[in-house]
Amino acid sequence: MRCAFGIVWAASLLGISLGRPSDVVARDSALAYYDPETGFTFSEFKAAYSLSANIVYRVAVPSNVPSGTPYDIVLQIVAPTQVGWAGLAWGGTMPKNPLTVGWANGQKPLVSSRYATGHTMPAAYTGATYRQLTTGNRVNGTHWQLTTQCTGCTSFTGANGAVRLNPTGSNRFAFAYAASKPSSPSSNTSSFGMHDVFNYWSHDFSVGQNPDFASLVVKNGGTA
């Protein structure tokens, strides 16, 4: 008994002090994933939030973005039902970058635009605009899946001034996850509790290039 108690105690201590699974090592990069439903080619990263489960983050970018110009992306998040909310930090930290937070709202997933200035509840953020596509959004018996266009996720004011993510290279990302659902799931300004797990990785946009990005966006119900 004493031994079992000790293991639980040690595990909870580790969880609290590290805030993420201690033996999950962040892989760098991303793999190409072609989504037959929407037709986009995404760069895909599977973010482990436990030793046996992950949240899939996929980013599709337009090919041939002129240097220095802002660009839209399409983000897809696939999360097991037990995920209460899942967040993506586009600059790889909690404060001072666009945060995309998604969760299941009945039979549809919902996306919320946030920005934090510190380690407290992120406020609504108007610097990024989301349009959920007519495809790739569902809640079923095992998962919820969000697919959204974002304008403003790749250019923002960070802790050290203007940031523009590299459309053809690797960008530092972070994710956060909580098992608990937001308090008002039907509202994109709902409050929610702190994450149970967060982690970082380097997301390689080069494998999610789409020469026909604009036409795919329109075909899937977004706006060019």
Ligand X SMILES: *[C@@H]1O[C@H](CO)[C@@H](O)[C@H](O)[C@H]1NC(C)=O
Query: Secondary structure of the chain in the HEC alphabet?
Result: CHHHHHHHHHHHHHHHHHCCCCCCCCCCCCEEEECCCCCCEEEEEEEECCCCCEEEEEEEEECCCCCCCCCCEEEEEEEECCCCEEEEECCCCCECCCEEEEEEECCEEEEEEEEECCCCCCEECCCCEEEECCCCCEECCCEEEEEEEEECCCEEEECCEEEECCCCCEEEEEEEEECCCCCCCCCCCCCCCCCCEEEEEEEEHHHHEECCHHHHHHHCCCCC
Output the smallest distance, CB 122 to ligand HEM, in A. Answer: 5
Candidate list 30, 77, 79, 101; residue touching ligand HEM; CB under 6 A: 101
Tokens of 85: 């909310």
Q: Hey, which residues between 120 and 159 contact ligand HEM (CB under 6 A)?
A: 120-122
Which residue lies nearer to ligand X by CB, 145 or 154? 145
Q: Is 78 a residue that touches ligand X (CB under 6 A)?
A: yes
Count of residues that bind ligand X according to CB under 6 A: 12
Taking residues 132 to 151 in sequence order and writing x for each that binds ligand X by CB under 6 A, - otherwise, the string is ------x-x-xx-x------
Shortest spacing between CB 137 and ligand X, in angstroms: 9
User: Quick check: 202 binds ligand HEM (CB under 6 A)?
Assistant: no
Tell me the window of 55-63, 87-95, 123-131, 132-140 that interacts with ligand HEM (CB under 6 A): 87-95
- Picking from 166, 161, 137, the residue whose alpha carbon sits closest to that of residue 149 is 137
**Considering beta carbons, is residue 10 or 218 the nearer one to ligand HEM?**
10
Contact status, residue 64 vs residue 78, Cβ threshold 8 Å: no
Nearest distance, CB of residue 176 and ligand HEM, angstroms: 4
Q: Could you tell which of ligand HEM, ligand X, none binds residue 174, using a CB distance below 5 to 8 A set by kind?
A: ligand HEM
When binding is defined by CB under 6 A, the residue of 75, 99, 104, 216 that contacts ligand HEM is: 99
- Smallest CA-to-CA distance from 194 within 205, 210, 183 is with 183
Does residue 58 interact with ligand X by CB under 6 A? no
Q: Which of 156, 198, 205, 213 binds ligand HEM (CB under 6 A)?
A: 198
Chain residues binding ligand X by CB under 6 A are: 78, 112-113, 124, 126, 138, 140, 142-143, 145, 188-189
